[in-house]
Amino acid sequence: MAIPPGSTKTIDYEFGRIVELKEIKLDSKALTFLKDAHKSLGSNGMQNLRGPMKRSLIHYAAMGDCTELLRYLLLNGSAVDDRDQNKRTPLSWAAEYSALNTVKVLLANGAKINSTDDMYTTPLSWLIQAGGINAQNALTKAYLVSKGAKERGAKRRWVLKKLGMF
């Protein structure tokens, strides 16, 4: 499915925002993947391309709070709970980056709010670990908690395993 004409400019802007993220800016492989994905977006249907760390475009869209790109990807078959190499979902990345608008879109499309990654860490835990005391962080945390998000992480899993409860 082609990108709707009114969305092209917004999606181009969102790609620009993604490549300016500190984590992305310093990763030449991620930059190359994103440039290639941007060029091929909308041509010959969507494919679930994988970049470094087996992240797909939906993970990067979540990091950059790119709601227009995210909606386009979801409409074209990207899995809302797609997992990267570390079993992190787009919601996990959106939470870490305090991307409130993306969090809302993902949850509205059925993302699992308490999904855990390979460290048994939930999206809320990633948000808290990322730190930062600002309004966006506080709003994202409040929204996640209001939707039933729980804080869990590797330490909790390790303790439960030691006690034979997991």
What separation in angstroms does the CA of 16 have from each of 10, 70, 80? 10, 14, 22
pLDDT at 155: 60
**At residue 128, what is the residue type?**
I
pLDDT at 144: 98
Q: Report the alpha-carbon distance of residue 20 to residue 126 in Å, rounded.
A: 21
Residue 50 DSSP SS3: strand
Number of residues assigned to the chain: 166
Average pLDDT over all residues of the chain: 90
Q: Phi/psi at 109 (nearest 5 deg)?
A: -100, 15
pLDDT at 159: 62
Pick the more confident residue, 64 or 159.
Answer: 64
Q: Tens digit of pLDDT for each residue in 42-91?
A: 675 556 688 999 999 999 999 999 999 999 999 989 999 999 999 999 99
Domain boundaries, the chain: 5-162
Whole-model pTM: value is: 0.88
Q: Report the alpha-carbon distance of residue 41 to residue 57 in Å, rounded.
A: 10
5-162, which class in CATH? Answer: mainly alpha
Q: Report the alpha-carbon distance of residue 131 to residue 94 in Å, rounded.
A: 14
Q: Report the alpha-carbon distance of residue 118 to residue 49 in Å, rounded.
A: 21
Q: Tens digit of pLDDT for each residue in 135-145?
A: 999 999 999 99
Classify burial at 4, counting beta carbons within 10 Å of its beta carbon; exposed 0-12, middle 13-18, buried 19 or more: middle
pLDDT at 153: 74
Residues forming a β-bridge with 97: none
Contact 24, 31 (CB under 8 A): yes
Residue 118 has pLDDT above 60, yes or no: yes
DSSP one-letter string for 17-37: HHHTSHHHHT-HHHHHHHHHH
